[in-house]
Structure 1
Amino acid sequence: MTDTEAATEWSLPDDLEDVRETLIEWYEADHREYPWRRTDEPYAILVSEVMSQQTQLDRVVDAWEEFLERWPTTADLAAADRADVVGFWTSHSLGYNNRAKYLHEAARQVEAGEVGPDRPREGGEAAKAGGEFPTTPDELQELMGVGPYTANAVASFAFNNGDAVVDTNVKRVCYRAFDVPDDDTVFEEAANELMPAGRSRVWNNAIMELGGVACGQTPRCDEAGCPWREWCGAYASGDFTAPDVPTQPSFDGSRRQFRGRVIATLREYDELEFDTLGHRIRVDYTPDGEYGREWLAGLLADLEDDGLVDVLERDGEPVARLHR
C-alpha cells in the first residue's frame, strides 16, 4: 500500500455533532485563563501569537502584559524605536530578535494602510486610513513575518473568521483520537472537517487546550476528564504513540543568545570597538581565536542585515553601534 493510499484510510465518527459539542462544553466549563483569551483585539492577539512561538505560555503572560502596557496600540508600536522593541524582546528571553523586528514592521504596515482589501493598488489609489487591521487569513499574511499559521490564528481568535488551526497539539489529538495519518495535508483536512462552521474562535481554543492539557506527550485522559475518551482510538487500545514533536535547540550558547547579548550591550554603551564588544558578550573571546573577530563579524553582519546594527570604522578600528 502506498503512503497516499494509507493517508486516505481514515474517517471521523458518524456522530460528529456530539464530538464537537462535547469538546466545546468541556472547554467552556474549565480552561487555562490566559489574558489573550479574554480579548478579541487583533493587535493584542497578534502579539500573543508571535510571543508564543516556541515559548511556554506561562512565561509569555508577563511579557505580553508589559509589552501592551508600553505599546498599547499599533500606532504606539509603529512610532517606537526598533532598538527599544528588540531590547524588550531580548530582556524577556522571547526567542529570535527577528520576531520583534517583524512585529514592529507589521505595526507600521497597519498604520500606513499597506495591508488588507483597501491597501493602495497599482494605478495610484490612495491608502486607507491607518490603524485598521486585516481580517482574513490571506490579508493577514501580508503583514511582515506573519505566516499561514499565525494569520489563521489571528483571524480565528480576533474575528472568528479562520480555518482550523493545526499545531503540534492538534496533530497529536487527531492522530491519537481518530487515527489520522502523520501527513500535514491530511491533518489539515481532518482538522477543518472537525471544526463546526462559523465557530473558529471557540473551536480552535478548545482543541488546542485539549492537546495541551489532556493529550500531551504524556496523556492525562482520566485526570483531565478528556471529553473524547469514548471516541478515542488511543484510549481504547492503550497505544498513545504520536508524531514526533520538534524540539527547540538549546538557547544557552546558541547564536541567538549572543545576538541578544550584542543588542543588550550596545543598548548600554551605544557604540563599541569589536574587541571591547567581544569581551563583553563572551568570556572566551580572543581576537584571533575560534570565537574572535571573524566570529563576531559574522554575528554583526547578520544583525546588520536585519537592520538592527551598523558596522563602521573609527580611527581605523571596526566598531558596532545600534542602527539609527
Structure 2
Amino acid sequence: MTDGDAGNEARSEPDEALPEDLDAVRDALVSWYEADHRSFPWRETDDPYEILVSEVMSQQTQLDRVVDAWRDFLDRWPTAAALADADRADVVAFWSDHSLGYNNRAKYLHEAAEQVLTEYGGDFPETPDELSELMGVGPYTANAVASFAFNNGDAVVDTNVKRVLYRAFDVEDDDGRFERVAADLMPAGESRVWNNAIMELGGVACGKKPRCDEAGCPWREWCHAYETGDFTAPDVPTQPEFEGSRRQMRGRVISTLKEYDELGLDELGPRVRVDYAPDGEYGREWLAELLSDLERDGLVEFDGGDEPVARLRR
C-alpha cells in the first residue's frame, strides 16, 4: 500500500470526533480563508527556496518581524545557487544583524542550499521525506515546504492546529490522535490551501484568547468550545472569562437548536438563559437581536413574523 492509499483509507473512515458532514466543514474553512486572510509575501509564491527561507526565519520569531528580513535576504541571495556561493560568515552576520535568533539556523540554511546544488542538481526535492534530508530541515519545515511549494504535503500539526482541534472537536491531548484527526480533515491533494487555512484559523480566530465572533470563525456551528463555553486547550490551561458573555449565549442558541427542528422565542429563551422573561431585559427583543446576529453570520434561520421561530441553518 502506498502512502497515498493509506491516506485515502484514513479519510474513508474519519475519526469519530469529527462531524459527519466533513465536506461542509472543509468548504467552510477554505471559503473563510480565501475570502480574507493575513497577507504575507511568502504566501504569494510557490518557490521552494523562498518558502524554505520564510519557514526557517519564522521559527520562534513573530511573522511581522520576518517580512523585512525575508525580503532583504532574498534581495541579497535570490536563489539557492546564490546562497550556496555566498560566504557563510556573511550569511551568519545577516542573521545576527536582523535578530533572527539562533545563528546555527543561518549555517544550516547555507548548507541546505549547497545540498540542493550538489545532490539534487539545483532542483528542490518535493516530498516531506526527501526535504527532511536537507541540513537543518526537520519534519515540520519539510512538510511546510512540500505543502506550500508543491501542494504535496501532509496535514500540518503545530501548536495552533492542536488548539483548534482540541476546542472544535474535543480531540484529546494526544499527539497521535491530533495527527489522525488532522489527516482525516485535510482534503486529498489540497495541502497548500488547507494547511494555510487551518493555521490561519488558529492564528486569527482561535488563538489563546478566542475571537470566534469577531473573526467570523467558520467552525462555530460544529465547535464544542463555542457550544460549551470552555475554551481551554493544551497551551491554554486557564479558561478565559466567558460566563454570561454574549459569545456564551450564542453558543447556547446553537446547541439548543441542534436538538430541535425549530423553536419559538418563548420556547428557546429559557433554554438559553434561566432568567429569560418575554418582556424583560433578557426577553424577546434581546433574543431576536441575538438570533438576527447569528442569521447574519449564516448560522441560523430566523423568521421574525407574528410568531417568530428560529432553526439551525443546514
Q: TM-score, normalised by structure 1?
A: 0.68
| Partner-residue secondary structure (3-state), 1:32 | coil
The equivalent position to 1:106 in structure 2, one of 102, 112, 127, is 112
Separation of aligned partners in 2, 1:210 and 1:159:
22
Q: Does 1:40 align with 2:67?
A: no
- Partner of residue 86, structure 1: 92
Contact 1:10 1:180 in 2 (8 A): no
- Output the CA distance in 2 between the equivalents of 1:235 and 1:94: 37
Aligned to 2:209: 218
The number of aligned residues is 224
Quote the Cα distance in structure 2 between the aligned partners of 1:32 and 1:92.
23
**Residues of 1 paired with 2:75 and 2:203: CA distance?**
28
Distance in 1, Cα, partners of 2:108 & 2:94: 14
CA distance in structure 2 between the aligned counterparts of 1:66 and 1:10, rounded to whole angstroms: 47
Equivalent in 148, 158, 175 of residue 157 of structure 1:
148
Structure 2, unaligned stretches of length 5 or more? 1-13, 238-314
Identity of aligned residues (%): 80
Aligned partner of 1:177 among 152, 163, 168: 168
Aligned match of 1:198: 189
Amino acid at match of 1:61: V
Contact 1:10 1:179 (8 Å CA) reproduced: no
Asked whether the equivalents of residues 177 and 234 of structure 1 are also in contact (C-alpha less than 8 Å), the reply is yes
Q: Aligned pair 1:131/2:122, yes or no?
A: yes
CA distance 1:245–1:158, shift in 2 (3 Å):
farther
Offset of residue 11 of structure 1 = 1.4
Question: Which residue, out of 35, 46, 55, partners 1:49?
Answer: 55
Amino acid at match of 1:37: R
CA distance in 2, matches of 1:38, 1:78: 24
Whether the 8 Å contact between 1:10 and 1:181 is mirrored in structure 2 is no
What's 1:319 paired with? none
Gaps of 5+ in 1: 1-7, 116-129, 247-324
Distance 2:111 2:128 in 1: 18
How far has the Cα of 1:244 moved from its partner?
2.2
Task: Report the Cα distance in structure 2 between the residues aligned to 1:182 and 1:111, rounded to whole angstroms.
Answer: 41
C-alpha distance in 2 between matches for 1:12 and 1:204: 18
- 2:23 is the alignment partner of 1:17: yes
Moved over 6 A (4+): none
What amino acid maps onto 2:201 in structure 1? L
- The residue identity in structure 2 corresponding to 1:23 is L
Secondary structure of 1:17's aligned partner: helix
